[in-house]
Amino acid sequence: MADQPRGILTYQGIPVWRHAVLIQWALQIISAIAVVTLVVWFFSNVAFAINDRDIPFGWNFFGRSYGTPVPEHALPFNDSTDSYAYALLVAAVNTIILAVAGVILAIIVGTLIGIARLSPNWLLSRLSLVYVEFFRNVPLLVQLLFIFYFILVLPPITETYNLFDVLYINNAGIAMPQPTLSSGIAPGLGWVAAAGAGVFLGYTVYKLRNRREIVTGAVSYPLLTGIGTAVGIAAVAWVAIWAMAGDTPLGLSIPAPDDRFGRIEDGLRVRSGAIVMLVGLVMYTAAFIAEIVRAGIQSVSRGQTEAALAVGLKPVGVLRNVTFPQALRVIIPPLISQCLNLTKNSSLAPAVGFADLTNVGITMTQTAPAINIFLVIMLAYLAMSLAWSAVGNFYNWRTRIVGT
Amino acid sequence: MTNGDASDNGVEDIIIARDVHKWFGSFHALRGVSTTVKRAEKVVILGPSGSGKSTFIRTINRLEEHQRGEIIVDGITLSNDVRNIDAIRREVGMVFQQFNLFPHLTVKDNITLAPMKVRHIPRAEAEDTAMGLLERVGIPEQAEKYPAELSGGQQQRVAIARALAMQPRIMLFDEPTSALDPEMIKDVLDVMTELAQSGMTMLIVTHEVGFAREVADRVIMFDEGMIAEEAPPNEFFINPKSDRAKLFLSQILH
């Protein structure tokens, strides 16, 4: 090629504005400059505004004592001595407990509804359809408020529903019995450890017996012997520790109404805000998960079901051994995104008075710099979301299919 | 034609279809199909697409439900009784056009799944059987691979092994070579020929005329949901009686 352009604006004999690699580089550099400019502009603006208007900013509030109660706390919390940082941790634990419990229940409910949606039973599949369409299409905040007001209709504590003197239900929440370490930490945890070992041994027995049944064909009652082993060990440990310590390994804290102050003491007391959040998040997210499960099962080709039926598997066996394992690959990624949604949606808790991260954060802004508080809270939610993603990636990696 | 061994049910006519009708919505797919297949007989089913030939063999193991008429497989009447359906599916193996191997299981697990879950055969025994069957179809070295790592011909041979693992008395083949590259068709047909020689009762929907001539005891031609002609292969291919069969043969034999 004789008329190849020569000059200062060529590289490798190509004009720079036509050089594919150089164009890529130029675009990269331009976008990087744009991003840096935007970020600098944003943060300098915020910094100017904070200075201009004397908005408090800084991190030394972290160590100060918070001095405000946190209504729900799974971790022990003393509002007169514990710090802001610790209060945020307590609130984060509340959010995590709500999110994990919510995700587990939502997956169970959602999977059942998703399978029911594909049921040949007309009534079952219609009911599932109505459920999905209702809960998907009403705003979550409205659903939460509805449950909140629904619970308010329940009688007040002074006229609480009382089931057998162990379970109390009223418009402030639920109180139920709870095992405690009332007879000392050593016997209590000792028994829990023994029972745990029993469950582990029982599971081992189950596996071994199951294997024996599979390998030799001899009837071995794997489930029965496994559960028997676990229960047996737990029972023996209970009696042994009782005999040695002179008291039962675990106590039981049973709730009881305190008529003088009109409240319920002892037991595990769950306030209505927590119930509203858990029920609301589970029902709402389950509707989305049901659709994901349905789509996942339907993504497995009809031929797979036919082949499984043709070799003699029964419908439940087809679902368990053929359809569902393949559907899982399709289900897991959007399912993880629903776990993230549930966790993030738990930040609606302030509307119903549950002391989650966001709610405690809002309260803190009255006595500490809001921007700092919410920076920390955002990082906390980000960490939780990344944790869910890690779980999902691990699962994806384990269930991958070779060769596709 | 050999008669095979005396069976458990002692039935010579292993498949009896009487006036079988099937509708897909308003489409009348099977319009009164009646035929009888004897133990160890090899029947090749031909016909233009949409003639109901696949639908017919799929009614035999209840992948399609027939709405009128009667189907009796090895003495068991196919009805809505789930126990009868399960019993028939244990007797009848099926090979599909699209293989339909389970992609999440290895070749060996594809073959052992049903014997272990349905017949409760111990794993070691099921795996021995699986390896024996893989030898028989000529690909024992592929046992630990996943279906997607195999060629189409290899996948179809695994599918045959998977069906045989349940020790069926009858094998249904629904266009087993139609999705294969030409050079792989022979491998699969060889396996089927060997199976035919071993005395298996076989119903084969196929367009492979050479195979039909060599293996079939009888050819059934379907047209518009009915049996248009039924004859031994030599008679059918050389001297077809019906006009419909003559037209069809002129289209597929060039």
CB contact under 8 A, A313 and B166: no
Arithmetic mean of pLDDT, B102-110: 93
Q: Which positions 24-53 of B are in contact with A (Cβ < 8 Å)?
A: none
Between B254 and B178, the more confident residue is: B178
Task: State residue A394's pLDDT score.
Answer: 85
Task: State residue B10's pLDDT score.
Answer: 60
Task: State residue B83's pLDDT score.
Answer: 86
Return d(Cα B2, Cα B39) in angstroms, integer. 8
**pLDDT tens digits, one per residue of A350-360:** 998 888 999 99
**pLDDT tens digits, one per residue of A284-298:** 999 999 999 999 999
Q: Is the pLDDT of residue A224 over 90?
A: no
**pLDDT tens digits, one per residue of B108-163:** 999 999 999 888 888 889 999 999 999 999 999 999 999 999 999 999 999 999 99
User: β-strand B42-46 against B218-223: which pairing, if any?
Assistant: parallel
Return d(Cα A309, Cα A360) in angstroms, integer. 55
Q: Is the pLDDT of residue A322 over 90?
A: yes
Task: State residue A7's pLDDT score.
Answer: 66
Instruction: Compute the residue count for chain A.
Output: 404
- Find out whether A354 and A273 touch, Cβ atoms under 8 Å: yes
Task: State residue A338's pLDDT score.
Answer: 93
> Nearest CA of chain B to the CA of A128: how many Å?
26
Phi, psi of B208 (to 5 degrees): -80, 95
Q: Which positions 323-352 of A are in contact with B (Cβ < 8 Å)?
A: 325-326, 329
Return d(Cα A38, Cα A67) in angstroms, integer. 39
CB contact under 8 A, A317 and B117: yes
Task: State residue A4's pLDDT score.
Answer: 56
CB contact under 8 A, B102 and A322: yes
% of chain A exceeding 90 in pLDDT: 36
The string of DSSP codes covering B145-178 is: S-GGGS-HHHHHHHHHHHHHTT--SEEEEESTTT
Arithmetic mean of pLDDT, A365-371: 85
- Cβ neighbour number for residue A249 with a 10 Å cutoff: 25
Of B103, B117, B124, the CB nearest to A321: B117
Between B28 and A214, the more confident residue is: B28
Return d(Cα B207, Cα B227) in angstroms, integer. 16
Task: State residue A334's pLDDT score.
Answer: 92
A310 close contact with B: CB closer than 8 A: yes
- Find out whether B129 and B118 touch, Cβ atoms under 8 Å: no
Q: Which residue of chain A is at minimal alpha-carbon distance from B171?
A: A310
Of A216, A306, A402, the CB nearest to B100: A306
Return d(Cα B11, Cα B28) in angstroms, integer. 31
Banded pLDDT at B2 (limits 50, 70, 90): very low
Arithmetic mean of pLDDT, A245-260: 72
> Nearest CA of chain B to the CA of A325: how many Å?
7
- Find out whether A277 and A346 touch, Cβ atoms under 8 Å: yes
Of A54-58, B155-159, B183-187, B238-242, which gets the smallest average pLDDT? A54-58
CB contact under 8 A, B93 and A310: yes
Q: Which residues of A touch B114 (CB under 8 A)?
A: 308, 311-313
Q: Which of B97, B117, B146, B170 to mutate to test the interface with A (most CBs of A within 10 A)?
A: B117
- CA distances from residue A19 to A1, A8, A51, A142 in whole angstroms, order as listed: 17, 14, 48, 56
Of A202-211, B37-46, B48-57, B165-174, which gets the smallest average pLDDT? A202-211
% of chain B exceeding 90 in pLDDT: 58
Q: Is the pLDDT of residue B1 over 50?
A: no
- Find out whether A92 and A347 touch, Cβ atoms under 8 Å: no
Return d(Cα A183, Cα A380) in angstroms, integer. 37
DSSP reduced 3-state for A314: coil
Between A180 and B106, the more confident residue is: B106
**pLDDT tens digits, one per residue of A22-41:** 899 999 999 999 999 999 99
Q: Which residue of chain A is at minimal alpha-carbon distance from B125?
A: A215
Beta bridge partners of B45: B205, B220
**pLDDT tens digits, one per residue of A119-143:** 888 999 999 999 999 999 999 999 9
Show the CA angle centred on residue A239, arms to residues A238 and A245, nearest 5°. Answer: 85
Q: Is the pLDDT of residue B13 over 80?
A: yes
Show the CA angle centred on residue A109, arms to residues A105 and A112, nearest 5°. Answer: 145
Q: Which residues of B touch A317 (CB under 8 A)?
A: 117-118
DSSP conformational letter for A247:
S
Q: Which residues of B touch A329 (CB under 8 A)?
A: 104
- CA distances from residue A90 to A231, A361, A367, B3 in whole angstroms, order as listed: 35, 11, 18, 80
Which residue from A166, A163, A97 is spatially nearest to A343, judged by alpha carbons? A97
Q: Which residues of A touch B118 (CB under 8 A)?
A: 311-314, 317
Task: State residue A1's pLDDT score.
Answer: 47
Return d(Cα A176, Cα A169) in angstroms, integer. 9
Q: Is the pLDDT of residue A174 over 90?
A: no
DSSP conformational letter for A191:
H
Return d(Cα B40, Cα B136) in angstroms, integer. 19
Dihedral over Cα of B101, B106, B110, B113: its sign: negative
- CA distances from residue A186 to A177, A200, A237, A254 in whole angstroms, order as listed: 21, 21, 13, 22
Arithmetic mean of pLDDT, A196-203: 86
% of chain A exceeding 70 in pLDDT: 94
Return d(Cα B139, Cα B173) in angstroms, integer. 20
Residue for token pair 């024992």: B140
Which residue from A153, A75, A41, A87 is spatially nearest to A377, judged by alpha carbons? A87
Please provide the average confidence, as pLDDT, over all residues in chain B: 89
Between A171 and B67, the more confident residue is: B67
Question: What CATH architecture does domain A65-139+279-397 belong to?
Answer: Orthogonal Bundle (1.10)
Helix (H) or strand (E) holding B85: helix B82-91
Between B222 and A221, the more confident residue is: B222
Q: Which positions 196-215 of A are in contact with B (Cβ < 8 Å)?
A: 214-215
Identify residue B194 by its one-letter amino acid code.
E
Q: Which of B64, B102, B105, B171 to mutate to test the interface with A (most CBs of A within 10 A)?
A: B102
Residues 6+ apart with CB under 8 A from A283: A109, A135, A143
Q: Is the pLDDT of residue B86 over 50?
A: yes
Residues 6+ apart with CB under 8 A from B181: B151, B152, B153
Of B103, B163, B165, the CB nearest to A401: B103
- CA distances from residue B123 to A309, A313, B114, B141 in whole angstroms, order as listed: 21, 17, 11, 19
CB contact under 8 A, A402 and B96: no
CB contact under 8 A, B122 and A310: no
Q: Which of B104, B144, B173 to mutate to test the interface with A (most CBs of A within 10 A)?
A: B104
Task: State residue A256's pLDDT score.
Answer: 74
DSSP conformational letter for A265:
E
CA atoms within 13 A on the CB side of A305: 15
Task: State residue B169's pLDDT score.
Answer: 92
Q: Which residues of B touch A402 (CB under 8 A)?
A: 145-146, 148-149
Q: Which residues of B touch A305 (CB under 8 A)?
A: none
Q: Is the pLDDT of residue B193 over 80?
A: yes
Beta bridge partners of A297: none
Q: Is the pLDDT of residue A222 over 80?
A: no
Task: State residue A262's pLDDT score.
Answer: 67
Task: State residue A217's pLDDT score.
Answer: 65
CB contact under 8 A, B103 and A325: no
**pLDDT tens digits, one per residue of A372-383:** 889 999 999 999
Of A10-14, A137-141, B238-242, which gets the smallest average pLDDT? A10-14
Burial class (CB in 10 A: 0-12, 13-18, 19+), A199: middle
- Cβ neighbour number for residue B227 with a 10 Å cutoff: 21
Instruction: Compute the residue count for chain B.
Output: 254
Between A339 and A212, the more confident residue is: A339
Of A164-178, B12-26, B220-234, which gets the smallest average pLDDT? A164-178
A301 close contact with B: CB closer than 8 A: yes
Task: State residue A370's pLDDT score.
Answer: 84
Between A6 and A93, the more confident residue is: A93
Identify residue A319 by its one-letter amino acid code.
L
Identify residue B87 by its one-letter amino acid code.
A
Task: State residue A251's pLDDT score.
Answer: 72
Give the start-to-end residue ranges of the domains of chain A: 8-52, 65-139+279-397
- Find out whether A235 and A243 touch, Cβ atoms under 8 Å: no
Banded pLDDT at A54 (limits 50, 70, 90): confident
Residues 6+ apart with CB under 8 A from A312: B86, B89, B90, B114, B118, B119, B166
Arithmetic mean of pLDDT, B188-197: 91
- Find out whether A397 and A389 touch, Cβ atoms under 8 Å: no
Q: Is the pLDDT of residue B5 over 50?
A: no
DSSP reduced 3-state for B222: strand
Helix (H) or strand (E) holding A261: none
CB contact under 8 A, B98 and A303: yes
Arithmetic mean of pLDDT, B216-244: 90
Beta bridge partners of B171: B93, B202
